[in-house]
Amino acid sequence: DADVTQTPRNRITKTGKRIMLECSQTKGHDRMYWYRQDPGLGLRLIYYSFDVKDINKGEISDGYSVSRQAQAKFSLSLESAIPNQTALYFCATGDQNAYEQYFGPGTRLTVT
Amino acid sequence: GQNIDQPTEMTATEGAIVQINCTYQTSGFNGLFWYQQHAGEAPTFLSYNVLDGLEEKGRFSSFLSRSKGYSYLLLKELQMKDSASYLCAVNRDDKIIFGKGTRLHILP
């Protein structure tokens, strides 16, 4: 079984709809991250969390919110999706001692 | 990506050596990662450098100069499967910020 899972893997939604992307991990890591990846722009940090009570904005948090429901779960929400949020979204986890991030398989989101 | 610069694309020949450079702003710097990402897949960890110097791991080596804000990833004995994007990322005050990545093409 994968250590970091993301659901859904693909989603097409319409402008204005609310959508939630979910991430779960079995690695027991405290740190979790959400990134989006666009062609030519690389990975950009949206939000990150160092434990259940800790939520921090990343480089591009506008239009997004997150919830850390448990150590193993970190959800990303788009309250009112817009077309320029079309991207590939990755969740990642990290152990503060190992400094290595483990990425989920990604969610490809299309907003029409 | 907060002034993390790396070349957009590079081309090399199978069996050769290639060096991918990365420069970054040094403020708040804690360490530097290199990741490999094949098209359509998730990034996978290659290395993390905290101290100055060269770290070797099989065919891949990573170098860091903290004072110069400079790192490179060295790939030896290139194989076709090394065709991928290579992402430089900086641990800045415990936020991990990525550069735009270098797409490496390997020619037979």
Write out pLDDT tens, residues A92-101: 999 876 578 8
> Using one digit for the tens of pLDDT, what is the confidence trace for B31-59?
999 999 999 899 999 999 999 999 999 99
A interface test, pick of B22, B32, B45 with most A CB neighbours within 10 Å: B45
User: What pLDDT shows up at residue A95?
Assistant: 82
> Does B1 contact A at CB distance below 8 Å?
yes
pLDDT digits (tens, 9 = 90+) for B53-86: 999 999 999 999 999 999 999 999 999 999 999 9
- Residue in chain B nearest A99 by alpha carbon: B48
Contact A101 B33 (CB under 8 A): yes
Please answer yes or no on whether A59 and B91 come within 8 Å at the CB atom.
no
If you count residue pairs, one on A and one on B, with CB atoms under 8 Å apart, how many are there? Answer: 54
DSSP B87: E
Beta bridge partners of B98: B89
**Residues B68, B52 contacting (CB under 8 angstroms):** no
**CB-based contact A11:A79 (threshold 8 Å):** no
Is A90 within 8 Å of chain B by CB? yes
Answer whether B97 touches A (CB < 8 Å). yes
